[in-house]
Structure 1
Amino acid sequence: MTDRFEPDGASATMMAVVTEAQGGFEQLRYRKVRRPLPKDGEVLVHVLAAGVNNTDINTRVGWYASTVTASTGESLEPAGDGPPEAGGWQGATPFPMIQGTDCAGRIAGLGAGVDPGLLGRRVLVRPCMRVNGFHDPATRWLAADFDGAFAQFVAVPASEAFVVDCDWTDAELASLPCAYGTSENMLHRARVGAGEVVLVTGASGGVGSATVQLARRRGAKVIAIASRSKHDDLRSIGAERLLDRADDPAEVLGAESVDVVIDNVAGQGFPTLLKALRRGGRYVSSGAIAGPIVSLDMRDLYLKDLTLIGTTAWDEPVFPNLIGYIERREIRPLVAATYPLADIAKAQKDFLEKRHVGKLVLIPPPAGQA
């Protein structure tokens, strides 16, 4: 059988970045591969832009393995001795594969049973797919469980391609799906409402800057934590108060001073975040870029009636909400830089430097070009 990444004379081809195996940047190969064909109920999306995310790097290096205890920036190789198949979100990552969790594009082909009116429409792809419906937390993720958007074309279920009508650029649209979906899901699960005080860690990153905007959109008062050089940018998108990364939130703000903590940093700073929460407060997370192993004083948890919320599977309203926010101009994208798809290694290295505010986005070559 011909490998899906080996072009043959009978199939149309495309350019893509194939991640050959778990490992470093050397595993990223920009090459010609077979173009996917949409199956029944699927659409073929011509990828116009694809965002860079932590999860693409983490999956490549096997960071999700339980043996890994380092932060996402400490090493480009997995720590510990776990087998490669343990390093994916839900077990084995199907290498070789095309990664790329964020996808903005146009519908270029239709499988059987798909509305022909979708052809040519600009869409965002929902990367978190609830395979058994929204009553079941089981998920299937673009670029973690099947081929993603670091390519000229990608095939996805028609139900996961959301038409969007706006004047944003393709790069701006591609800055949204993973970061803003993750953020909206955390805010939705934590039931953040108007007038609440929300503390956002890692606020200059893709998820963090999305959370600043989306929490403000809900009427919350946002306190953002980031390096001082990024404070002006965060203030411009709605942060009312800024803390430096070296600050102790409980000491600077006072104990029991915030209603909700949105934290994708974790690491050594985790304990003081719980001390900053008010009685009955909520802590919600979908990541741990500063390290997955934390210290928890159980007395902070139970004596203060705190709720700790972990989020990965997105709830049903999340992605439709985002499309509405875009079309009603209630949020705005933050694109720090764009790169040709062929320069993915440079884009990911720049991403790991954490000097930017917002998102880095990859642009595939036009269809028919290498």
Structure 2
Amino acid sequence: MKAITHEGSGGHERLKFTDAADRRPGSNEIKVRLKSAGLNHRDLFVMQDRPQPDLSWIPGSDGAGTIEEIGPEVEGFSVGKEVVIHPTLGWKRSADLPKVPEILGGPTDGTFAEFVTIPAENVFPKPTFLSWAEAGVLPLSALTAYRALFSQGKLQAGEHLLIPGIGGGVASYALMMAKAIRASVTVTSRSKEKLRKAIELEADYGMDSGADWAADPNMHKVDLILDSIGGAVFPRFFPLLNPGGRIVSLGAGTEAQIELSLRELFFSQFSLIGTSMGSREEFIEMLHFIETHRIRPVVDSVYPLSDTAKAFDRLTSGEQFGNVSISIAR
């Protein structure tokens, strides 16, 4: 099969479009013929920090396609069925937290290929109203946003959400999901174009990332902050929160270390909550939410499988809004 492989130490400059071996499904596995896949910043982190860099490996955690072959003990599936892939391996119930979530596409071979073989419990029917490009970029980012907002952040209708650094896949899903339950959403960005696109997605207000947010007369106190930036902006959060407000951290695009005032934390009874990926249980809930509210992923651009390295150039430029998609049509 054709695939994108990574070998050696380095980032996406080490990617190669080549022939790779696929495999038949085991007793409880399904082989999927992929139609599309999605890029995530996680792919870049795994490339840079591989424990065995000399081994050839296929990246990619997001994907959608049709069932090609079914393992002998698998029931309830049929060849040709259109499916999406749940990328978290082995985490079934939300309450059973793993030490570190195991994710498709690192260390296991992933979705930047014509075929992928995965556990049957990670295969779900594709939402029929989504295109292949939309379905292929849905799983990881939408699952991360869903858990961050609802399982961890407990966002409710009528509350006010702040999303610093709008533009990436998780942020765009979080915006659309929050608006679907009638929450208010404020976003920030250094890009006027990204702020404009966020307003088109029904964000209530947009601010420049470099502005004094607390001094903005149009900025009202917030109940929840969804942070993927980290130390560079964290000290600016507490003055923005209502008493009892929550900060959900799902990444650290800048410094991982933060300054934290314990007095502010306990006097105003703020909550600082971490989150990463999501369980099979939450993936099912997320798919139901997406279908109920007819949320369509924001696809920034589509590249053929052979141009995956160029697609990562787009991702690392920071100019994208939404998800970057890979087309794997034969």
Q: TM-score range by the shorter chain?
A: over 0.9
Equivalent residue number for residue 9 of structure 2: 22
**Residue 136 of structure 1, CA deviation:** 2.4
Equivalent residue number for residue 254 of structure 2: 290
Equivalent residue number for residue 183 of structure 2: 220
Q: Secondary structure at the match of 2:20?
A: strand
Q: Which residue identity lines up with residue 142 of structure 1 in the other structure? A: L
Is contact 2:59-2:110 (8 Å) kept?
Answer: yes
Equivalent residue number for residue 74 of structure 2: 114
Q: Which residue identity lines up with residue 20 of structure 2 in the other structure? A: V
Distance 1:60 1:282, change over 3 A: same
**Residue 220 of structure 1, CA deviation:** 0.9
**Residue 95 of structure 1, CA deviation:** 4.5
**Residue 23 of structure 1, CA deviation:** 0.8
Task: List alignment gaps of at least 5 residues for structure 2.
Answer: none
Deviation sequence 1:310-357 (CA, Å, 0-9, x none): 111514542112322333353122111100111111111111111121
Is contact 1:338-1:360 (8 Å) kept?
Answer: yes
**Residue 50 of structure 1, CA deviation:** 0.6
Q: Secondary structure at the match of 2:247?
A: strand
> Among the aligned pairs, what percent are the same residue?
29
Q: Which residue identity lines up with residue 124 of structure 1 in the other structure? A: V
Q: Secondary structure at the match of 1:35?
A: coil
**Residue 264 of structure 1, CA deviation:** 0.8
Deviation sequence 1:50-98 (CA, Å, 0-9, x none): 1111000111112xxxxxxxxxxxxxxxxxxxxx53xxxxxx7895321
Equivalent residue number for residue 155 of structure 1: 117
Residues 18-27 or 336-345, more deviating: 18-27
- Matches of 2:217 and 2:75, distance apart in 1: 53
Equivalent residue number for residue 263 of structure 1: 227
Is contact 2:166-2:194 (8 Å) kept?
Answer: no
- Matches of 2:220 and 2:130, distance apart in 1: 40
Is contact 1:45-1:106 (8 Å) kept?
Answer: yes
Distance 1:132 1:323, change over 3 A: closer
- Matches of 1:141 and 1:316, distance apart in 2: 12
Q: Secondary structure at the match of 2:320?
A: coil
Pairs within 5 Å for 1:153-232: 153-188=115-150, 189-226=152-189, 227-232=191-196
Is contact 1:93-1:145 (8 Å) kept?
Answer: no
- Matches of 2:85 and 2:293, distance apart in 1: 19
Pairs within 5 Å for 1:3-82: 14-62=1-49
**Residue 267 of structure 1, CA deviation:** 2.9
Is contact 1:249-1:273 (8 Å) kept?
Answer: no
Is contact 1:130-1:137 (8 Å) kept?
Answer: no
- Superposition TM-score, scaled by structure 1 size: 0.83
Q: Which residue identity lines up with residue 221 of structure 1 in the other structure? A: S
Distance 1:253 1:190, change over 3 A: farther
Equivalent residue number for residue 307 of structure 2: 343
Equivalent residue number for residue 102 of structure 2: 140
**Residue 229 of structure 1, CA deviation:** 1.7
- Matches of 1:57 and 1:141, distance apart in 2: 14
Q: Which residue identity lines up with residue 115 of structure 1 in the other structure? A: E
**Aligned-CA RMSD value:** 2.1
Is contact 1:201-1:265 (8 Å) kept?
Answer: yes
**Residue 275 of structure 1, CA deviation:** 2.3
Q: Which residue identity lines up with residue 166 of structure 1 in the other structure? A: T
- Matches of 2:229 and 2:30, distance apart in 1: 36
Number of residues of Structure 1 aligned to a counterpart in Structure 2: 326
- Superposition TM-score, scaled by structure 2 size: 0.92
**Residue 297 of structure 1, CA deviation:** 2.2
- Matches of 1:95 and 1:304, distance apart in 2: 51
- Matches of 1:230 and 1:313, distance apart in 2: 25
Distance 1:253 1:48, change over 3 A: farther
Q: Which residue identity lines up with residue 195 of structure 1 in the other structure? A: G
